[in-house]
Each structure stands twice: as structure tokens, then as C-alpha cells.
Amino acid sequence: MKDSSAATYKIDLNVITLDARIALGCLDRTFVGTPNYMGIAYFWGWNGCKFYLREASIAQRRKIHKKWLSEGLDLGEESEKHYQIIFDAMKIPYTKSKLSEIVNWGQQ
């Protein structure tokens, strides 16, 4: 049973106007790196993380962002720890060797 004292509110980004979507994205960019991040704006760097994170749900993005911050990870970098958090949040199966392979892919 839901706690009736807990307020919930959802915005369906698929049905709001383009102007509203742009405004929310701009606002959320100011929240990147803070606990106020809403999960709309991109917060990752130009590396392999983008291939996973752009497919993540808003809730998954918020969870990953929060975990990266709590772990002290640079939002623009990539490491095995970055990918481990992504895969855990998105429920993507992985192995330690797979994480290492992904991080070292372009360095051979």
C-alpha cells in the first residue's frame, strides 16, 4: 500500500512541448554534478559511456549520476568503476574481464 502522505508527480517528456523540453534540459544542465540533477541533461563525457547512458531511463541516469558522485568519480571520464555502476543500474550482465576490455578498447 502506498503512503498517501508521500507526494508523487511525473512529467511525461514525450507529450510536453519542445520549448518546455528545451527549458527543462537547460535547467537540468545547471544541476549536473549536484544532488538536484533530474536525469534529463547529459552528464557524461565523450567516451564509451555515452553508448550506454543515452539509452538509460531518467531514473537510471539519476541513479548512475548519484552513484558516480558518491564514489568521487569524474563525470567526464571512464573507468571500470564507471561501467560497473552503469551496468548495475541498467541491469546489464558483465564480467570483470568485460569491463577491462571495454575500458581498454581504443588503447591497443
The domains of the chain are located at 43-107
State yes or no: pLDDT of 49 exceeds 60. Answer: yes
Mean pLDDT of 55-69: 96
pTM of the model: 0.84
Q: Characterise 79 by phi-psi region: left (phi > 0), alpha (psi -120 to 50), beta (else).
A: beta
Helix (H) or strand (E) holding 52: helix 49-53
Nearest to 108 by CA among 53, 63, 100: 100
Given pLDDT bands bounded at 50, 70 and 90, which one contains residue 2?
low
% of the chain beyond a pLDDT of 90: 69
Half-sphere exposure of 29 (CA within 13 A, CB side): 6
Give pLDDT, residue 83: 95
| Cα-based distances in Å from 28 to 11, 17, 63, 65, 91 | 14, 16, 15, 12, 25
- Which residue has 517528456 as its cell numbers? 13
Record the cell numbers describing residue 58, joined without a space: 531518467
Give pLDDT, residue 37: 97
